[in-house]
Structure 1
Amino acid sequence: MKNGRPVLYPTYVMLMEASKLVLYGTQLHASDYVTSGVPCIMPQDIIDGKISTGKIAYISEENANRLSNFRLAQNDIIYPRRGDITKHALITSRENGWLCGTGCLRIRLNTSSILPQYLYYYLTLPHVKEWISQNSVGATMPHLNTSLVGQISVSYPTYDEQHTIASILGSLDDKIELNRRTNETLEAMARALFRDWFVDFGPTRAKMAGEAPYLAPELWELFPGRLDNEGKPEGWKIGELHELGPVRS
């Protein structure tokens, strides 16, 4: 392996030869950020290979136009300059035109020989991430610079093979993301159901109000028709877990 390049394909190129690498320093002040406008991607917004908008910052369109050189384009790849320097994200059509914020490094390919999606997945290889970690500078907190990233050697097959590889891995990522969202939805539904049944006592209150059943008949019958003097469903008890059986550590 040389400069993060596992022996995969005979053809390879150093990133400094295949892309334009740009570091972004502090260009904005706290007063420049607004509640809505053009999103400005910071290192903390790079999560699991994607851009998270949960806590993303915004600047005005006027400021964004002033900093047009900081605009990102679809298929750019960005890294954080400090901290977890092996994580990165591929800019999609959604983030096209957003700003590359303080503390990020941008990779923009200038060759048609390498597919951006292939490069994104190549940079996730353990060998590459290990090389980046081992060669990063900084005693207390590792950080990246264009010189280091430019030395990464990218081994690549034909363009058609790159497309096939990226398509397969992209489909797997899509399925993983779909499963993650499905799990989040199911967890939210389970929490809401638990709260309705065992905190708010929704079915019992619905019966008391004469409302139509909203559960399957066999479940609906499990809930009493009124609350007791303590405000819980009649016949239900409040106890401690050990009363139900032995608790072992």
Structure 2
Amino acid sequence: MSSWIETEIGTIPANWKIGSLGEICELLTDGAHLSPKPQKSDFYMASVKDMRYNYFDFKECKTISEEDFQKLLLNNCSPKYGDILLSKDGANCLDLIFVYKQPETIVLLSSIAIARLKDGYDPDFYRYILLSPNIQYLMRNNYVSGSAIPRVILKDFKNVPVPILGLTEQKAIAEILSSLDDKIDLLHRQNQTLESLAQTLFRQWFIEEAKEEWEEKPLSKIADFLNGLACQKFPPQNDIEKLPVLKIKDLKDGISENSDYATSDVKPEYIVNNGDVIFAWSASLMVKIWDGEQCVLNQHLFKVTSKDFPKWFYYHWCKYHLDNFIAISSAHATTMGHIKRGDLDEAMCVIPSNEELVKMDDEISPIFEKIETNSRQIKSLEKMRDTLLPKLLSGEVRVKI
């Protein structure tokens, strides 16, 4: 008798069964379909924009009145510890799935679904199930409606097929994958601390304690801003000489199996490498040091470089002016907000002497190098986890119980 069986979710061990998400859930619902007026308070109303890989970032989270908050608590709009949360609407549909383990009591907007499992089903294990390639493919092709604005319809979503197996085996598989996630999370948090330290030094040197005699130059003069290609005009000619296309969504979420591809036969300056500074100047404005694989720069993104100044210097000046750029973009917004090159000409930066810049560089460059080293390690661990996940779920790699 075979040790494995073929199912709609792929090859699984013969002692597993196939059920549905609705069968294993005590509750499958979404957040509030009404959005109360924001009010300064301690009562958080989270949306997809506040979701990270495995937690909520409450720094810019909307807050509402206690009265509105209490009303929503009564309507199953609040996750409990151990609930699986899924981004179910918009550009991040099904990209973000994690188990809620934060101490804060919060309410959610309807763009986030809540899956509360019955006893006997481990939320960490089923989170990995929902993130696995086969299930993701099934969900996106069968349970998501809309093309311009993708959306999960929960009454259908309850039919998503999932494996049913013993709780002990669920926990054993989840423990292996969680050990990798814990290391990834630790490195992310280290990087947040290092980035905060670098930002503090920059503000101290150039904003709070800047010297009057320092020269001023516009952002456009301290760095080069290369706009990307219209990559649809550069399709891959074969399956070997091609690279993924870096778009605004990929800049935020990383390259995925849903990313587009272009030929690798483009001018070298349009190739983006790990460690390059990328500035999204349209739609969702952001500045990021790219931490992913080699790819091709798409339009609406600048690759930022400089022959005269270190990376941290022009990166932090871009970050410093970002809030103003976002305000300019909002004022320009018709169908899609953006900034113009003229806005870079008006964003002024102060320039210390060469001797002072060298001393600053000696202090801040090691911080940047550590961040980039951590980022590479994160990608390596993520690749290991993502390679191991389907092997564990298919039974190719079995766990000891």
Q: Is the shorter-chain TM-score for this pair beyond 0.5, marking a shared fold?
A: yes
Give the direction of change, closer, same or farther, for the CA distance of 1:37–1:182 in structure 2 (3 Å limit).
Answer: closer
- Structure 1 residue 123 and structure 2 residue 136: aligned? no
C-alpha distance in structure 2 between counterparts of 1:91 and 1:235, whole Å: 46
Q: 1:221 is matched with which residue?
A: none
Runs of 4+ in 1 over 6 A off after TM superposition: 191-201, 233-237
TM-score by length of 2: 0.45
Unaligned 5+ segments in structure 1 are 202-230, 238-249
Give the direction of change, closer, same or farther, for the CA distance of 1:189–1:80 in structure 2 (3 Å limit).
Answer: closer
| Count of residues in Structure 1 that have an aligned counterpart in Structure 2 | 205
Largest Rg, 1 or 2: 1
C-alpha distance in structure 2 between counterparts of 1:168 and 1:147, whole Å: 32
Q: CA deviation at 1:178?
A: 1.1
| Correspondences of 1:13-24 after superposition (within 5 Å) | 13-19=19-25, 20-24=27-31
| Correspondences of 1:128-147 after superposition (within 5 Å) | 128-135=135-142, 136-147=144-155
- Structure 1 residue 11 and structure 2 residue 20: aligned? no
Equivalent residue for 2:53, pick from 31, 48, 58: 48
Q: CA deviation at 1:195?
A: 8.5
Equivalent residue for 2:98, pick from 89, 92, 99: 89
Q: CA deviation at 1:60?
A: 2.4
Q: 1 or 2 for the larger relative contact order (CA 8 Å, sep ≥6)?
A: 1
Q: 2:167 is matched with which residue?
A: 159
Q: Give the aligned CA root-mean-square deviation in angstroms.
A: 3.3
Give the direction of change, closer, same or farther, for the CA distance of 1:160–1:195 in structure 2 (3 Å limit).
Answer: same
Q: 2:114 is matched with which residue?
A: 106
SS at match of 1:72: coil
- Report the more deviating stretch, 56-65 or 123-132: 56-65
Question: What does the per-residue CA deviation read over 1:78-117, in whole Å, with 9 as the maximum and x for residues that have no partner?
Answer: 222312222222111424x3112232221111x2221111
Question: What does the per-residue CA deviation read over 1:217-238, in whole Å, with 9 as the maximum and x for residues that have no partner?
Answer: xxxxxxxxxxxxxx8477999x
Q: What amino acid does structure 2 have at the position aligned with 1:17?
A: E
SS at match of 1:78: strand
Unaligned 5+ segments in structure 2 are 1-5, 211-351, 359-401
| Correspondences of 1:185-224 after superposition (within 5 Å) | 185-189=193-197
C-alpha distance in structure 2 between counterparts of 1:99 and 1:235, whole Å: 49
Q: 2:70 is matched with which residue?
A: 65
Q: Is the 8 A contact 1:78 1:89 kept in 2?
A: yes
Give the direction of change, closer, same or farther, for the CA distance of 1:49–1:2 in structure 2 (3 Å limit).
Answer: farther
Q: CA deviation at 1:144?
A: 0.2
Higher strand share: 2
Equivalent residue for 1:27, pick from 31, 34, 45: 34
Q: CA deviation at 1:176?
A: 0.8
Q: Is the 8 A contact 1:85 1:143 kept in 2?
A: yes
SS at match of 2:114: strand
Give the direction of change, closer, same or farther, for the CA distance of 1:196–1:233 in structure 2 (3 Å limit).
Answer: farther
Question: What does the per-residue CA deviation read over 1:39-80, in whole Å, with 9 as the maximum and x for residues that have no partner?
Answer: 112121222132221221112222222122222211112222
C-alpha distance in structure 2 between counterparts of 1:145 and 1:235, whole Å: 58
Q: CA deviation at 1:151?
A: 1.4
